[in-house]
Amino acid sequence: MNAPLTVNLGFREGSDYPSPVTRVLALGYYDGPTEGVLQVGPSGGVYRFAMTDEFPGEGTNDTDLRSFTLSPLPPGSLDALVDLLAKALALSLLPDWSVWVPVWRFPSSAIQKEVEGQVDGLLQLTGPPVWQVTTDDLFGMLRNVKRLGPGAGTHEDSAHS
pLDDT of residue 5 exceeding 80, the answer is no
Q: Is residue 9 part of a domain?
A: no
Q: Which domain holds residue 83?
A: 15-156
* 140 belongs to a structural domain: yes
Residue 63 lies in a domain: yes
- 133 lies in a domain? yes
Using CB atoms within 10 Å of the CB of residue 89, give its burial: 0 to 12 exposed, 13 to 18 middle, 19+ buried: middle
Is position 81 within any domain?
yes
Q: Are 78 and 36 in contact (CB under 8 A)?
A: no
Whether 10 is in a domain gets the answer no
Q: Does residue 84 fall inside a structural domain?
A: yes
> What total of structural domains would you count in the chain?
1
pLDDT higher at 27 or 62? 27
pLDDT-derived band at 42 (thresholds 50, 70, 90) equals confident
Task: Give burial (CB, 10 Å; 0-12/13-18/19+) of 63.
Answer: middle
Please report the pLDDT score of residue 150 as a whole number.
Answer: 63
Render pLDDT for 149-159 as a digit per residue (tens, 0 to 9). Answer: 765 444 343 34
Domain assignment of residue 3, yes or no: no
